Structure 1
């Protein structure tokens, strides 16, 4: 299937590593012109050179920085047709805190970075997309939206899903579809370190840790960043017009759960 992405102009935040980088790679492969953005200049420049993308330094907690990012993307690409919001720390970073002992700052930091950061970026590109009558915004959230295991993870991801629905209702009639993708635990370049750390902490071998991670899915293994990126790339394309405001799970299936 031709995803009709040739020549489309895409901006991927958090695009220097992990799922964001995998999405940027997939979009480039489909013929899109891509700008990636992240906090660290050296990291984003290296990733941009590797991918054949434009690299932009941004702090999505700062609205002025977001506005400057979009202005640079427009200057380099000629416009923005697609925004993929992926600039947020993975849920697996740091310990999971008990809900009753979760401090304000733990929640506040995630809302500032993931929820408001995504909103700032969407707010900055929405006028460009509505003016041209077409666009796609894909928000990378996570399956903690469907779990109570982590209060912080649940709050931020549910909020992203709610924001997605509100933006989709507003922008959809103007040709801009907005969707949210919920990855689960995803295999990226950071996974070997995570596996090693868990194996050392639990006193088991790394193969056992990998089996345990795979058991959290109905396909029996972790989904890779490239596999999540394939879903995101479709949603970023003109072919996805029938999907707006919805949440798409891309975590390999949750055992024992039915969603409808």
Structure 2
């Protein structure tokens, strides 16, 4: 199926490795030019060269800290300048797994919550806030936020709090921007195979879902590409789980 993405332009945060890198690759394979953002220039540069070579699309590495207002404003301005505009925003930058440990109320701390939320939730807000006027002016856009299935379970205070907040933020964006042709949706992965996943971690994750295997980062990236497509306009303000299925739970 042609997702009608050729010629679109995307900004993907947290894209030097892992799920973000897989997302940038999937979009580029669909004909999208991509600005990739992270905090390490060396890692970004290597990833940009790798993806450009693999896809033939323009991949622009941009250093940014999503925990800082000025850095995010500069990131969005530079991405628009480099690519001539942005049509798709994928928010993925976060502390992997959330600030740890926080399995019990005694372990959780306000400082950890604030630090983690500043990067992931407020960071997502910052990028959307900086880019929204540009998307609205163009009459079309896609915002896809990567959350996490900790939003639907207990066991890690900070991870649960931040990912629930991502869904709340996204629904607000969807309701406000939807009438202007801009949709916003959330994907909640669970443990996902990336370049750093160990066989032991894979086995543990596979034992906890209903498909009996770990989900690969490329599968999350495929879902992002579908939601980024002009064909996905009927989907707005939704939270989509992509963790291989949670046993014995009914979400409705």
TM superposition score category, shorter chain reference: over 0.9
Aligned pairs for 1:16-95 within 5 A: 16-52=16-52, 53-91=59-97, 94-95=100-101
- The CA deviation at 1:97 is 3.1
Aligned pairs for 1:220-231 within 5 A: 220-231=212-223
- The CA deviation at 1:190 is 1.3
- The CA deviation at 1:211 is 2.8
Q: 3-state DSSP class of the match of 1:177?
A: strand
Q: 1:117 to 1:179 in 2, by over 3 A?
A: same
Which of these residues, 112, 128, 132, is aligned with residue 134 of structure 2? 128
Conserved 8 A contact 1:137-1:179: yes
Q: 3-state DSSP class of the match of 1:83?
A: strand
Matched, 1:237 2:243: no
Q: 3-state DSSP class of the match of 1:99?
A: coil
Match of 2:55 in 1: none
- The CA deviation at 1:94 is 3.9
- The CA deviation at 1:93 is 6.8
| Runs of 4+ with >6 A deviation | none
- The CA deviation at 1:103 is 1.2
Partners of 1:225 and 1:129 lie apart in 2 by 27
Matched, 1:2 2:8: no
Conserved 8 A contact 1:73-1:80: yes
Conserved 8 A contact 2:9-2:87: yes
Conserved 8 A contact 2:98-2:159: no
Conserved 8 A contact 2:142-2:184: yes
Conserved 8 A contact 2:99-2:159: no
Match of 1:215 in 2: 207
1:160-180 deviations in Å (ceiling 9; x for gaps): 100000010000000000000
More displaced stretch, 45-54 vs 99-108: 99-108
TM-score (norm 1): 0.92
Conserved 8 A contact 1:138-1:178: yes
Q: 3-state DSSP class of the match of 1:10?
A: strand
TM-score (norm 2): 0.95
Matched, 1:184 2:176: no
- Matched residue count: 246
Match of 1:119 in 2: 125
Partners of 2:193 and 2:183 lie apart in 1 by 28
State the Cα RMSD in Å.
1.2
Matched, 1:158 2:164: yes
More displaced stretch, 68-77 vs 88-97: 88-97
Partners of 1:73 and 1:97 lie apart in 2 by 38
